[in-house]
Amino acid sequence: MLFRSKVDTFFGVFIFIAIAIIGAVTILPIFLDEEIPKAAVIILISSFFFSVGLILWPIFYIKYMFTEDYLLVRGGPFRSKIVYEDMTKVSRTRDIFTGYRILSSRDALEISYKTSMLGSVKISPKDEREFLKELQKHCPHLTIDL
């Protein structure tokens, strides 16, 4: 079963501001410098689209997929396979700026598991209730602390 990540307003505004800053640094010089070489224009525009692509790819392609043996957490080039037997606890969190996180909302779940380098992963499934039901089917020993 496949779940997508929810995107809240805070996160959307945060990403918009980041893209605006990148645009100011890379696109604005094209309009301010009258004698800018064409090669510089190409480099600046390319760096803008490359940077924005790197920001948007992991954010808007976040998926959480249940397989037979593990939960696949995927966001752009980042992915984690979390084996159900290794999961120990699920709890709510609003701390989205620290730790290992593949999410796009402040309303998040933290899944603790044994094989994680940082101890847990933070995710934000759009349909949280259905996600937790599916997680409990695959992982009945899991402690759910909501």
Residue-level pLDDT at 45 = 96
Residue-level pLDDT at 28 = 92
Would you give per-residue pLDDT tens digits along the chain (146 residues)? 999 998 888 888 989 999 999 999 999 999 998 889 999 999 999 999 999 999 888 777 899 999 999 999 998 888 889 999 999 999 998 887 777 888 888 889 999 998 887 888 999 999 999 999 999 999 999 998 88
Residue-level pLDDT at 60 = 78
Residue type, 110: E
Domains delineated in the chain: 1-146 (2.30.29)
Secondary structure (DSSP) of the chain: -EEEBP--HHHHHHHHHHHHHHHHHHTHHHHH-TT--HHHHHHHHHHHHHHHHHHHHHHHTEEEEE-SSEEEEEETTEEEEEEGGGEEEEEEE---SSSSEE-S-SSEEEEEETT-SSSEEEE-BSSHHHHHHHHHHH-TT-EEE-
The model carries a pTM of 0.78
Half-sphere exposure of 61 (CA within 13 A, CB side): 12
Residue-level pLDDT at 39 = 95
Residue-level pLDDT at 18 = 95
